[in-house]
Structure 1
Amino acid sequence: MNTEEKTQVTMVEGTGGKYRWIAMTALFLAIGTILRLVSPSVAGVSPNWTIAMYCLVMILVRPAIPQAIGIGLVAGAIGVVSSKSIFPYANLLSEVLGAVVCAALVRSGIRFQLGKFNLQPAVLGLLTTLASGMTFVTATKLALELPMQMYLYGMIPVVLTVAAINTVITQMLYFPAHKIFAQKGEE
């Protein structure tokens, strides 16, 4: 006598389930980590792929602020182990702040467009990288008691350069990511 109940799973095309954001976050952060590890530095500067990737996640899944804090903590922990910095622990603070800034901007509903062209990825990549990067270099300066000249003329220019690079990268990666991962019914 077979007493097993049969379970029916119904898949609705284009939804992905309640925890889709977790899977997407894990995928994008893994890609960002790999790219961060293999990207060469040019004059000590390389893109912050982690920030670009979690910006894309924020745009695609629109997480709540507590979820963004979790994303930032994971990104920060990844940054601690994959950073080329002299003070990698600053990633724990800077990535949380960057993720919260990004999520808050996404959830604010502010549109960044040039005509019909969506500039939200570029603007979020720029602002998030600036928030995270400035937090990172300021925490590093304070923790290691670095001279102000090093902070002003060595660290801040790197943040500005990485922010410019991330602006372009986030915008370029948005269109294929949106095409692959956006839910049906989105614009």
Structure 2
Amino acid sequence: METKQQELVTIKTGQEGRFRWVAVTALLLAIGVILKLVTPAIAGITPNWLIAMYCIAINLTKVNYKQAIGIGLVTGAISIPISKAALPYANFASEPVGALVCALLVHTSLSMKLGGVNLRPAITAGISTVASGFTFITILKVVLSLPTAVYLYAMLPVVLTVAGINIVITQLLYFPAKRLFGGKEE
């Protein structure tokens, strides 16, 4: 009778959560893709679930700036096949901008609390959505030679509306996500 010797697995202290941000981001972006695919447009406008989800991930994991840009590039790549936009490849520029803005805001020392409620998720989502959306529509305007009136009176209001929707969504989903995935202390 042969006996098997057990293997001993050693985990070095401080290394166990090194890639936690990748797992949290991947799960949240997967949820974002599903929500983007099933959410109907109301008056031609849908929430940008992917921005909301990467803002939640960045708020939870407090990634560095290079990691945030990586999250934005992955989000841009994911967006291309599911985008309804005229120029989906603009996501490769707009999503890293939004993710970087989110990381910059997360790492500021400004208090973003109202009473005992942390408003950082809402604020980062709103500003990141505007940064990403503004980058996206500016690329569209330049590449497609769109008139300034279309840019200012049709596209910019959509970006601001989506930012408002993302503010609410991100704030509402942040706290359940924090309970589920944990998060670094504020």
Match of 1:177 in 2: 177
Give, as a single letter, the amino acid of the residue that structure 1 aligns with 2:9.
Q
- Paired residues for 1:73-84 under 5 Å: 73-84=73-84
Question: CA–CA distance in 2 between the matches of 1:37 and 1:111?
Answer: 35
- The amino acid across from 2:47 in the alignment is P
Q: Take 1:111 and 1:72, find their aligned partners in 2: how far apart are those partners?
A: 25
TM-score (norm 1): 0.92
Separation (CA, whole Å) in 2 of partners of 1:139 and 1:79: 16
Trace 1:125-140 onto structure 2 (pairs within 5 A).
Answer: 125-140=125-140
Structure 2 equivalent of residue 152 of structure 1: 152
The separation in 2 between residues aligned to 1:90 and 1:120, in whole angstroms, is: 27
Q: Aligned partner of 1:153: which letter?
A: Y
In the TM superposition, what is the alpha-carbon distance from 1:17 to its structure 2 partner? Answer: 2.1
Q: Which amino acid aligns with 1:145?
A: S
CA distance in 2 between counterparts of 1:5 and 1:111 reads 51
Report the equivalent of 2:18: 18
Structure-2 residue corresponding to 1:8: 9
Matched, 1:186 2:185: yes
For 1:52 and 1:108, the matched residues in 2 are separated by: 19
TM-score by length of 2: 0.92
Counterpart CA distance in 2 for 1:36 and 1:7 is: 44
Q: Take 1:44 and 1:16, find their aligned partners in 2: how far apart are those partners? A: 44
Summarize deviations over 1:130-174 as a string: whole Å, max 9, x none.
000111111111111111111111100100100000000000001
Structure 1 residue 3: Cα displacement: 9.0
Residues paired across the two proteins, number: 184
1:69 corresponds to: 69
Q: Which runs of 5+ in 1 are unaligned?
A: none
Paired with 2:166 and 2:12, the residues of 1 have a C-alpha distance of: 36
CA distance in 1 between counterparts of 2:110 and 2:55 reads 15
Letter in structure 1 aligned against 2:66: P
**Percent of pairs with identical residues:** 52
Shift of 1:4: 5.8
Deviant stretches of 4+, over 6 Å? none
Query: Aligned Cα RMSD in Å?
Result: 2.1
CA distance in 2 between partners of 1:105 and 1:93 (Å): 19
Question: Could you give the per-residue CA deviations for residues 38-96 of structure 1, whole angstroms, max 9, x where no partner exists?
Answer: 11111110000000000000000000111011000000011111100011111110000
Q: Distance in 2 between matches of 1:110 and 1:146?
A: 38
AA aligned to 1:19 is F
One-letter code aligned to 2:159: V
